[in-house]
Amino acid sequence: MKKSGFTQFWSRILLAGGLALAGPSQPASTAESARSAYPELLPHRAIYKVTLAPNRGRGQIVGVDGRMVTDLQTTCEGYISSQRMVTRMVDESDELSVSDIFASSWESLDGRSYQFSVRQRLDNDLIAEYEGNTDADAASGAVRAILRKPVEKTVTLPAEILFPNGYMKALLE
């Protein structure tokens, strides 16, 4: 399987997932009241089997078999999340590739701080790596995202941003 096509495929998924992880913005007053009323998330671990439905010849990947493990732990200060997905994929040329994606994050209980790390390997070669964290300005509430990998970059996010666990809590309300 060509790594460039595979990388494009997973880059789109990671980009979409990264945007979805941050969740939609809400008006500041709504976000603040939602944060204070969040239900607690319980620590848990889930294991999923990953397969590809029968392909009718419309794509490069014709077979997938793997496992995804997701884990959430709670500490006095925040949530620690990790997710690992290892899949064996077969392309239309009958070539086998093994993908290993590991993501971990920490989010403060109040939803104002967030740290993340994502590493993706294809056939044991590191093909993508993302790292960063956020900090919130106490006075303005503006949130600054500091990305360290793949390139250093700072982005200002709206004060009402919800990170993954905060977003999950808001959905559960």
pLDDT tens for 52-81 read 877 555 668 888 899 999 999 999 899 999
Residue 121's pLDDT is 97
Cα 7 to chain centroid, rounded: 16
Contacts of 110-118 with C-beta under 8 Å, sequence gap 24+, read 110/35, 111/35, 111/38, 111/162, 111/163, 111/165, 111/166, 111/169, 112/136, 112/143, 113/78, 114/163, 114/164, 118/14
Q: Are 62 and 53 in contact (CB under 8 A)?
A: no
HSE-up (13 A, CA, CB side) for residue 5: 8
Please write the tens of the pLDDT for every residue from 115-167.
999 999 999 999 999 999 998 887 777 889 999 999 999 999 888 888 888 88
What is the token pair recorded at 154? 């700072």
What is the token pair recorded at 41? 């998330």
Domain enclosing residue 71, as ranges = 3-172
Total-model pTM: 0.71
Give me the number of domains the chain comprises: 1
Cα 119 to chain centroid, rounded: 11
Q: State the Cα–Cα distance between residues 86 and 99, nearest whole angstrom.
A: 6
